[in-house]
Amino acid sequence: MYINNKDKYEDTKSTGWTFVLVGGIGLLGVILMDLGVFPFQMQSYMKIIFSIVMGALFLIFLAIGIKSFLSLKQIKTDAKDQEEAENEVVSWFLSHYAEEMKSYHTPDMNEADSDTLYYPRAEKMEELITAEYKNLSADEVDHLVERLYSEIFQTTDNI
């Protein structure tokens, strides 16, 4: 599955905020309960067990949130690198093969049927990209083919 690092950055950021907020509010609630601000009627041993278990849980939440925030810088760098690499492949393909792909046909392709046009074109695009950029994963190539296809054929085939 193709993972867009921009989306991963936003997901990690929201995960960080969620875990920090829940962990912080929960930890504050446990502390306030221990101080008697929230008067829960429990046996003292149950109150201790509850405070230890819930305190540990909320500390783990805080740790997960902080770890998420610490990983944001690397994800942002990866997103920038991924976008630059993707743009490089797209500009290379568009400058070398865009016109060729618009006129690409096989004998069994029907001009009016966009499905019969799509699959051979996408297969040819995949072949060309893979030949030039051997280090790309199949998911990356599929993503690039989808992006390129929509850029090249958006007005031609009404897809």
CB neighbour list of residue 100: distance below 8 Å, 6 or more residues apart:
none
Domain of residue 80 covers 5-153
pLDDT of residue 157 exceeding 70: no
Task: Please state which of the ranges 13-22, 98-107, 132-141 shows the lowest mean pLDDT.
Answer: 98-107
The answer to whether 52 and 84 have CB atoms below 8 angstroms apart is no
pLDDT at residue 142, as a whole number = 92
Q: 127 or 64, which is more confident? A: 64
What is the chain's length? 159
Among 5-14, 26-35, 50-59, 94-103, the minimum mean pLDDT is found in 94-103
Domain assignment of residue 158, yes or no: no
Return d(Cα 13, Cα 152) in angstroms, integer.
34
Q: Is residue 101 part of a domain?
A: yes
Q: CA neighbours within 13 Å on the CB side: how many for 70? A: 6
| 147 is a domain residue | yes
The percent of residues in the chain predicted with pLDDT above 90, rounded, is 55
Task: Decide if 97 is inside a domain.
Answer: yes
User: pLDDT-based confidence at 38, cuts 50/70/90?
Assistant: confident
* Number of domains observed in the structure of the chain: 1
> How many angstroms separate the CA atoms of 120 and 80, rounded?
32
Is residue 10 included in any domain, yes or no? yes
* Distance in angstroms (rounded) separating the CA atoms of residues 40 and 57: 19
Q: Is the pLDDT of residue 159 over 50?
A: no
Decide if 70 is inside a domain. Answer: yes
Residue whose structure tokens are 């760098």:
77
Judged against a pLDDT cut of 80, whether residue 75 lies above it is answered with yes
Residue 39 lies in a domain: yes
Question: pTM for this structure?
Answer: 0.70
Domain assignment present for residue 159? The answer is no
